[in-house]
Structure 1
Amino acid sequence: MEKGDWAEASRLFEHALSLRPDRVELQVQHGHALKEMGRTDEALASYASASGSDDGLYHLGLLRVQSGDRYGGVEAWARLLERTPDHDAALLALTRYGLAHLLPRTTMNRLRMEHKDSLLRHIGALSSLVKRAQTLLQEDISRYDEIRPNLMLPAPEVDTSARAQIIIDAGQSQPAFVRATLLSLIGCTHSAWTAVVVASSEICDHPVASLADIDTRIGFVLPGAELEPSQGVAQLYISAGTTLHADALTWVIGLLSTQAAACMTDWDYCVANWDEPVRHFDPQFHGVFDLDWLLTTDFPPPLVAVRPDLADLRPRGPEQRRELLASISMSAGDVAHIPIPLASVSRIPGRAEAARQLGQDALIWSLQPAGFPPVAGPVIHGKLQIVDRPGRTPLTCGGKEGKEAVRVIIPTRDCADLLEPMVESLIAHADKTDLLRLTIVDNRSQEEATARLLSRLGRKDGIDIVSFDRPFNWSEINNAVAEGTSEELLVFANNDVAMLTPRWDRHLRAQLGRSDVGIVGSRLLYPDGSVQHAGMLMGLADGSPRHETGKDADDITSRLDRVRAVPAVTGAFMGVRREVFQRLGGFDAGQFAIAYNDVDLCLAARAVGLKVLYDPGIELIHYESRTRGFNDNRLKIAWDQGELRSLYEKWGEALLRNPHVSPWWTPTAPFMSIEAGRRDRVLDWMTSTAMGRQG
């Protein structure tokens, strides 16, 4: 087995077992050999035969999980832990794969009792260390209000005479919210500004309007009134009840006077009771500006600022601010993002909320959270469209229905039981089968079932079978087929996926028809329905690229089911225009024969200004790594680390940067913990992304 001749090893173990069928350790070793040969069902049977031993039961559970049968794996490990409660490998595996919650309650209770004394000793020894680490390195998001002052980076130096004009939409608001916004403006460190409150006659007649008599920079007008432009460098659009940090105007003026056409900022929510400090909560941290996120979010940015020549002076509510940013993004230039919570959306004080209502009473929120869902249909003059999905986040896609031919390239080595349903699912779910061609590349398959399948598929229209009788090199295989074909759109696909989305090719054509998109990746699911791939994250934990995974029910940030720009996507199902693939030089077959070829191509696309798009509108089941197995031994891990090193040598720090995630999030716990002390990382993010404009 050490020589890697698994077929010979399997033969020897079969012979040994015929002589000593009672030797369970031989059954386990036979299972290892079968697993490495890709004969998963036989390996599972061999491990099951050895389930009388701890080793056999452990490997039975492990292979079940790796094959997509998570519940079956947990069942095997539960039986093992009932027998051997201190089996470290099983306990660690449950943690590593995030499956401990699936253990039967009786088993979990028994384990807790068995390990109680040991756990208490370890907890006692580690508790002080954990507290120190949390204090020094990261803060739980629940403590946001305490650490918020540490997130306020020093504002840039700007011309103190540079003027900003603020248009405040108060058409559906109330006096208390108008007052909060105006007082925050008066408190800004930059004083060269004017503000116009566009409000109902009730508000214009309310005492809050007397602030215009006290501060001549403030004015109140009725809806429809013509506003006088000021000779400024920034035009801000906010709603009444949005309060600004003291440095907000300075940041915006500094950015618009030197760099961007428009900008948004991070924000949070706040409530101000008279007898306690203003409480800020639920921060909304973002990465680089993402048009697809903007168009599908149900809460557009509460503060939008633009150069005065790019927009008129009419008031803009949340939907109109969304439209303005989207239009500028697609036409006039870059939209920047300041990664500092410079705006806060107000909630009325607790005592006001608890008071009795009188008829048409006060709103609780100045802007209702999740209160502005997008409307399905064409947007930005038809360049994009929003597609509604009942019960799910809407999709964005290109507004043009393409007619390009699609070439799907599928390298395979045996695994006929996966390849056949994969091919059938692609064809059955396609919108235009006459524009769909598949190339199946046979890389030294050995099984007779595979030969029969390939012979049968090769007789079908639209399917080409080619042989690649050389050592496996995923990049070389795909490059060769791409070079020898002519379809405008290319899809690189594994043989272990199954398409779930009707008319997937139509959606792909629309996305690849966008001028800003270079590569499109899909949403991949485990057989149990949990998400195996929702784009990749960079620079987390040990820094290597990681699939974004999870369950929709636990997705508090709505990332897993939203079209968005990402650092990279997997080559298990990846679409690209032929012209882009050729311009990028194809896959790097010299350095990335097995892994990271997809990441490398995505980094290359981003380097020339193209977007890598994760699109859950194309969804597949992924029976992960059935063909070449997992990196679960020294030989495979050593190779993987070598290719990862080549990737780092080629791309350097770009491999470690995650521009699409806020730099405030802790790398080990993104979206849950904040590292307020890492201002250096935030400043690096500002520089490397050109203040949120380049992903």
Structure 2
Amino acid sequence: MSAEKSWSILHAEPDADNSGWHGDSASRVQLSIPNGVRWVALDAQLFIDQFAPGVFFCCQTPDGLHRFAVPMSLGGKILEVLAVPEDSQSCWLELLSGPGFFQIQSLQLRPLNLLQSRWRFMRRGLRLCLQGTAEMKQHAEVNLWRAITASEQCYRRIGQLKACTPPMPYAEWQQRFEQLTANQLRMIERRLPELLARHGLLLLLLQQSTTVAEDWQRSLLSIEQSLGLSAATAKLTCLLVSDEATLTPHCRLPTQLTTVAQAQQQLAELPDSQPVLLLPAGVALAPVALCWWLEAFDAAAASWCYSDHDFLDQHGKRTEPQFKPDWSQELARSSHYTGDTLLVQAKALLASGWLQPELAVTELKVQQLVLQLSALLPKPPLHLPAVLWHQPLAQRQLPSADILRQQLQQQGIAARVETNAHGLLDIHYPLPEPAPLVSVVIPTRDMLHLLKPCVDSLLHRTDYPAIEVLIVDNQSAEPATLAYFDELAQEPRVRVLRYDHPFNYSAINNFAVQQARGELICLLNNDTEVIRPDWLCQMVGQLTQPGVGIVGARLLFADQRVQHAGDAIGIGGCATHLHFRLPADAPGYMGRALVSQDLSAVTAACLLTPKDLYLELGGLNETDLTVAFNDVDYCLKAGEAGWRVLYTPLALLYHYESVSRGKDDNPVKKQRAAKEAAYMRTRWARQMQGDPFYNPNLNGTAADFRLSAAPRVRKPWPR
């Protein structure tokens, strides 16, 4: 089976320079596999220009189509043993799920016999056992015995840890990662009575406008199942908070039918620290929910907490897992991402003033409670990264603009709130009066075809009233560029600063900031261009909110896909962009591509920060991070100093960074990039262990919000 004749491209058009192919979901790499071959080794080097790439090996047989996921490294390397179904009529690789570009730099197929395939399976497992970390072995569920006796299963599990493995179905994810060992089950049966005896628990089961009898029963049955074999219910009470005069649920729990006023009265009689679980009627608790909640609540001494959840479709099947970030005040305002099931201390719940006796229970919105608690309590809520409740799809709640307006008004924030096309909230914060001067810093070396549209859009398509543009010329030599600089000398809002030293992105920006007159600094790449005229108004409005030190923008490629919607730390080895290459009009995971939120970092391609803070933190690191990661480092320094970093999709610009080719293979640049990444992993070792704004149940090799094949979650009981 020679490399030249083992494959061909179907249903795709070659690029203009024949370096690759443009196609769609019908495109395929047809494979020539001789009859009778049952195993082949695929060795390939690919580049796939598509969001969340996934490669599949497909075989057509008389029984139908067989489709198998093929793991691929972040750099596009595939080295995999594929099983060819018996009676296969044709085999191919599926590279695209929609329109996109791909390159095949190399591709070889080699037939294997049974012994050769088994040896390759075993070799991968043995290598992990001998060279892998304990964490990797645990994630892959591989040990020496299994590597020998279940070699193919171990081989496939290890492959799922590669960066570009196609998404795992949620049902398979549940089966793999939610199952408890016999030891854990015994631990829960022992611990739950202890926790209930120590603190007690009040459950408020809240009637919804859509509640029917089956909803009450679903919730109560799930509570019984979460209690398991525990008989310690003496300090557990379930209040059915309802506007109905009669309600007769069938359950073994101690239940009471109450109004809002009666529930408030019972709450006032509880110890201050007693936990109260709020859940809408119809929500089902996971079997481990009560033990997990109480165990974590007790350990963290939290005043309130929330957890991940998913939805139940019309057939009761679990779907759409909502793997949430840790606390983000801005995301809570714009999306009510916490959901409607919370565990709250009795004292905090009473102090919030949320239980208003004059209201019908269906008028009590948990969104309002979340915003009230966040304003009342100095300590943020605890987030449990586990699916502990399941909500019927029919009860999905979108945030209320009226509730947010009311809460912002109570806090003295005169913001304008609008509901966007996806039912989430856009918050337009007001500008200070007078508007502070913003110094926009643009480093450049020639590149006039990029620089001029950037500057023109700043001067003529930006509606912010107080702006100065600082162009930092780093040894430009082209006559057209120099002539343009002379032309700009006539524009009072523009200054051209000369930086006649070798390229050092950090040093160039630091040099310019020292000479900036503005109270605020906007770092901006020369390959950007304004889309929304109010982009800077939006960023300044957010930056001038209490505790905010940095604001980043939403950046699009020229092909209308997302280049930047915030950064995740520790993902893919150091840091990477969220929602990378997502279509511009797509909401992204949980709508997060299109709402404002707190994050760990944003890119300096468009970053706004106060000048005083920039100088206080030492600016960008011009010693260790001359080119890459200096923006991430600056954001982490700000976070370490107690400042918030925000991303806003309402500041929208183009970023003309190339997306049509692979990475630069220049050895000098690769060495420099590796050194800078190593510095980041050392300087920010703790932060690299897990980004609080990217759930540990999601893919840790790329920030694409796929389910992780190796969740980084610790259960509150031993394995």
- How far, CA to CA, are the matches of 2:546 and 2:283 in structure 1? 35
Task: Confirm or deny: 8 A CA contact 2:218 2:283 kept in the other structure.
Answer: yes
Residue 430 of structure 2 is aligned to residue 388 of structure 1: no
- How far, CA to CA, are the matches of 2:207 and 2:419 in structure 1? 32
> What's the counterpart of residue 651 of structure 1?
684
Task: Confirm or deny: 8 A CA contact 1:171 1:200 kept in the other structure.
Answer: no
> What's the counterpart of residue 436 of structure 1?
467
Opposite residue 670 of structure 2, the aligned amino acid is: I
Opposite residue 178 of structure 1, the aligned amino acid is: W
> What's the counterpart of residue 634 of structure 1?
667
> What's the counterpart of residue 170 of structure 1?
207
Equivalences for 1:681-692 in 2 at 5 Å? 681-683=712-714
Return the match for 1:322 from 356, 360, 367.
367
Q: CA deviation at 1:463?
A: 1.0
Equivalences for 1:19-98 in 2 at 5 Å? 60=17, 74=21, 92-94=46-48
- How far, CA to CA, are the matches of 1:223 and 1:655 in structure 2? 45
Residues 566-611 of structure 1: per-residue CA shift (max 9 Å, x gap): 2321111111122322332211111111111101101112222322
Residue 198 of structure 2 is aligned to residue 198 of structure 1: no
> What's the counterpart of residue 401 of structure 1?
431
> What's the counterpart of residue 354 of structure 1?
none
Q: If the length of structure 2 is used for normalisation, what is the TM-score?
A: 0.70
Residue 260 of structure 2 is aligned to residue 234 of structure 1: no
Return the match for 1:141 from 170, 177, 181.
170
Task: Confirm or deny: 8 A CA contact 1:496 1:625 kept in the other structure.
Answer: no
Task: Confirm or deny: 8 A CA contact 1:421 1:498 kept in the other structure.
Answer: yes
Residue 283 of structure 2 is aligned to residue 281 of structure 1: no
Opposite residue 654 of structure 1, the aligned amino acid is: Q
Q: CA deviation at 1:531?
A: 1.0
Assess, with a 3 A threshold, how the Cα gap between structure 1 residues 554 and 504 changes in structure 2: closer, same or farther. closer
Residue 301 of structure 2 is aligned to residue 259 of structure 1: yes
- How far, CA to CA, are the matches of 1:174 and 1:478 in structure 2? 61
More helix by percentage: 1
Task: Confirm or deny: 8 A CA contact 2:552 2:606 kept in the other structure.
Answer: yes
Equivalences for 1:147-546 in 2 at 5 Å? 147=176, 149-150=178-179, 158=195, 160-172=197-209, 173-187=211-225, 188=227, 189=230, 191=233, 192-201=235-244, 204-208=245-249, 215=253, 217-222=254-259, 225=262, 227-229=265-267, 230-232=269-271, 233-257=274-298, 258-270=300-312, 279-297=317-335, 300-312=338-350, 313=355, 320-333=365-378, 334-346=380-392, 367-369=394-396, 371-372=398-399, 374-375=401-402, 377=405, 379-380=407-408, 381=410, 382-383=412-413, 385=415, 387-388=417-418, 390-392=420-422, 394-397=424-427, 399-402=429-432, 403-433=435-465, 435-546=466-577
Assess, with a 3 A threshold, how the Cα gap between structure 1 residues 244 and 316 changes in structure 2: closer, same or farther. farther
- Partner SS state of residue 92, structure 1: strand
Q: If the length of structure 1 is used for normalisation, what is the TM-score?
A: 0.72
> What's the counterpart of residue 68 of structure 1?
none
- Partner SS state of residue 227, structure 1: helix
- How far, CA to CA, are the matches of 1:413 and 1:668 in structure 2? 34
- How far, CA to CA, are the matches of 1:424 and 1:151 in structure 2? 60
Task: Confirm or deny: 8 A CA contact 1:538 1:546 kept in the other structure.
Answer: no
More strand by percentage: 2
Opposite residue 584 of structure 1, the aligned amino acid is: L
Give the fraction of aligned pairs with identical amino acids, expressed as a percent. 23
- How far, CA to CA, are the matches of 1:318 and 1:133 in structure 2? 54
Q: Which moved more, 1:462-471 or 1:631-640?
A: 631-640
Q: CA deviation at 1:198?
A: 1.8
Q: Which moved more, 1:234-243 or 1:576-585?
A: 576-585
Structure 1 residue runs without a partner (length 5+)? 1-56, 63-72, 347-364, 687-695
> What's the counterpart of residue 32 of structure 1?
none
Assess, with a 3 A threshold, how the Cα gap between structure 1 residues 386 and 193 changes in structure 2: closer, same or farther. farther
Task: Confirm or deny: 8 A CA contact 2:699 2:708 kept in the other structure.
Answer: yes
Residues 508-567 of structure 1: per-residue CA shift (max 9 Å, x gap): 111101223221111111111111112223333444545640223493543322322223
- How far, CA to CA, are the matches of 2:452 and 2:485 in structure 1? 9
Assess, with a 3 A threshold, how the Cα gap between structure 1 residues 239 and 133 changes in structure 2: closer, same or farther. farther
Aligned residues: 572
Structure 2 residue runs without a partner (length 5+)? 1-13, 33-41, 55-94, 122-150, 162-167
> What's the counterpart of residue 604 of structure 2?
571
- How far, CA to CA, are the matches of 2:664 and 2:417 in structure 1? 39
Q: CA deviation at 1:166?
A: 2.0
Q: CA deviation at 1:196?
A: 1.6
- Partner SS state of residue 640, structure 1: helix
Residues 241-291 of structure 1: per-residue CA shift (max 9 Å, x gap): 112234433444444455222111111234798xxxx75433221221222
Q: CA deviation at 1:430?
A: 2.4
- How far, CA to CA, are the matches of 1:659 and 1:162 in structure 2? 29
Opposite residue 419 of structure 1, the aligned amino acid is: L
Opposite residue 309 of structure 2, the aligned amino acid is: W
- How far, CA to CA, are the matches of 2:576 and 2:464 in structure 1? 35
- Partner SS state of residue 442, structure 2: strand
Q: CA RMSD in A?
A: 4.1
Assess, with a 3 A threshold, how the Cα gap between structure 1 residues 510 and 472 changes in structure 2: closer, same or farther. same
- How far, CA to CA, are the matches of 1:581 and 1:104 in structure 2? 42
Return the match for 2:638 from 605, 613, 633.
605
Q: Which moved more, 1:661-670 or 1:470-479?
A: 661-670
Assess, with a 3 A threshold, how the Cα gap between structure 1 residues 121 and 422 changes in structure 2: closer, same or farther. farther
- How far, CA to CA, are the matches of 1:540 and 1:167 in structure 2? 39
